Structure formats: C-alpha cells, structure tokens
Chain A
C-alpha cells in the first residue's frame, strides 16, 4: 500500500516536472528541473528495487549531466526561443508512438506479477546461480561483471568513445611533452 502511495506521488511529481520542462524557456531553470527529474526517477528506481540503477541515475543524471549542461549554457545562450512552427506534426508523431506503445501493453503481464516470462525464464537462474557460480552478494554486480561482462566492456568502450568524441570536437589530444608535438 505504501509502495503504491509513494509511486503515485513520485509519478505525479515526475509528470509535473516534465510538463514544466516543456513550458519553461529559461534554460537554467530547465536544466535544474531536468536534474530534479533525474533525482525523482532515482527515487522511483529505489521503490522498484533497482538500487544500483538509482545510484547511477543520481550520480549521472543529477550530477555529471547537470554540470555538463550548465557548462554548455555558459558557452551558448541562456534563453530558449519559442518554436515558430505549430505543434501539430510533433503531436501526431507522439500520439502514433504512444498508441503503438499502449497497444503493446495490452498483452503485457501485470506489473509485479511473479509468473511473467521475465520472472520465470532466465531471470531466476541468475538469482539461483550467482551464490554458487560467483559468490558475491550483489547479483547486479555478478551479472554486470561476469554473466554479461561483455556488455559492460562495450559500455566502457561507449564511454571511451564519448571521451574521444568530445576531445575531437572541443580540445584535442594532449601529450606529456607538448614541445614534442608533431604538429606541422
């Protein structure tokens, strides 16, 4: 019961934040609100039992990405213009996508149900095998590092790609001795 209550309150706040972001034009406020959105979603992740995700979302969404967005605003412009076009086409795109999603929910297993395919097929194997295979208490770490370790390697590569990309776009690679730089 308390779960439903917290979830509902969080949802209402999330939706309000999102709507405020749609309306606001002062980018500083928008960035702050998006940071609030991330924190609220982190709370929701906790109620959904995803503590690792909540931790990451708080560190990334409310932390790093807010810093980066503020940095970007400092380098660009603080106020957004109101779009001159009508919102007709975007609304249609959104409605069609939303309808496709709602259509998909019709055959979804109910929220939290124990007999959903996700809870009966591979998921429980991870839970039952982790203690004997890997013997770490945090099942998320076990899957992240070992069962699906290759995904995490890919994830590290994604971060690395982003780093290289930002360097290519904004600064360039630094070497230890700049005088030896092979700039011709």
Chain B
C-alpha cells in the first residue's frame, strides 16, 4: 500500500480514483435512495462513470481521436497516418455498445416505474414495501395452512 502515497503513482492514477469516486456516488444513489426514478438516475451515473473509466484505458498521452487522414481519392492516407499517435479505439467501441445497453435499460426501468405508479399509486420504495408487506400478511392470513394436523 506504500505505493499509494508516492507522487508518481498518484499523478498516473488520479484519474482512476476520480472515476471511482463518481462510480461510488452513483452506486450510493442506487442503493440508498428510495425514489424509483432517482434510483434509475443513480444507475445512469454509475454506468457513465464506468464508461469514463473504460475510455480512459484507451487514452494515450499525446494521442488523438482514431480518425485517419484521407488522401484525395478518399482512401486512408497511410503515410500521413504513420506520423500521428492515436488512442486505442477498442474501448470506444465497447462503450458505444454499453451506452446503448444503458439507454435500453433506462427506458425499460422507466416504463416499469410508470406501471408501478399506476398500480401502487406511489413511486417510493419504502411505501411500496409497506403495501407489499401488508399484501403478504393478508395472503398468509387468507391462505393460512393448517400445519398442525400434518404430523
């Protein structure tokens, strides 16, 4: 752990630490907040921070966006290309996919929230939990199984 406090390590890894702070803020919102919409927003923050972390894997100091120069025939100019330093494009591709997955999840979550609001008349987790506990109690009361005459 001693490494942790060395200046060189810190300057090289401070970005990761900041991403982790953001991730954990998002995760905290998901786990702590009881409003269902807010949970989804927390999830978004969590995911976006993970995306930043991913993209930072591909970053090369002094590099540029991986879009190559073109020659006059609209082909990639392979000689000009050699002189430029590019960042790694693979994490970008993965994150494009992940962003799409994220919006898909968000939209499904929001649709569920709308339905939950319509049938429970609240979007607060603790209120819903109370209603559900009552429903479970009622069920158990109504369908109370006569255990005593089994054995």
Contact = CB atoms under 8 A, between A and B. Distances in A.
Co-assembled chains A and B: yes
Interface of A: 7, 11, 14-15, 18-19, 21-22, 27, 30-31, 34, 37-38, 41, 44-45, 48-53, 56-57, 60-61, 64-65, 68-69, 71-73, 75-77, 80-81, 83-85, 87, 89-91, 93-95, 97-98, 101-102, 105-106, 108, 110-114, 116, 118-119, 122-124, 126-127, 130-132, 135-140, 143-144, 148, 151-152, 154-155, 158-159, 161-162, 165-166, 169-170
B55 to A, nearest CB: 5
B60 interface: yes
18 contacts: A21-B38, A30-B38, A56-B96, A65-B107, A75-B117, A122-B90, A126-B89, A127-B66, A131-B78, A137-B67, A138-B66, A139-B68, A140-B89, A144-B96, A148-B93, A152-B97, A162-B107, A165-B108
Interface of B: 1, 3-4, 9, 11-18, 20-29, 31-35, 37-38, 40-42, 44-45, 48, 51-52, 55-70, 75-76, 78, 81, 86-97, 99-108, 110-115, 117, 122-124, 126-127
A15 B13 CA distance: 17
A51 B55 contact: no
By DSSP majority rule, is chain B's interface helix, strand, loop, or mixed?
Answer: helix
B22 A159 contact: no
Contact of A169 (B86, B102, B115, B124): B115
A148 B40 CA distance: 29
Contact of A158 (B64, B68, B101, B124): B101
A67 to B, nearest CB: 10
A49 to B, nearest CB: 4
By DSSP majority rule, is chain A's interface helix, strand, loop, or mixed?
Answer: helix
Contacts of B124: 80-81
Contacts of A72: 37, 110, 113-114
Contacts, number: 288
B24 A137 contact: no
A159 B64 CA distance: 30
Contacts of A77: 117, 122-123
Nearest to B117: A76
B67 A151 contact: no
A52 B91 CA distance: 11
Among B12, B13, B41: residue with most chain A CB under 10 A? B41
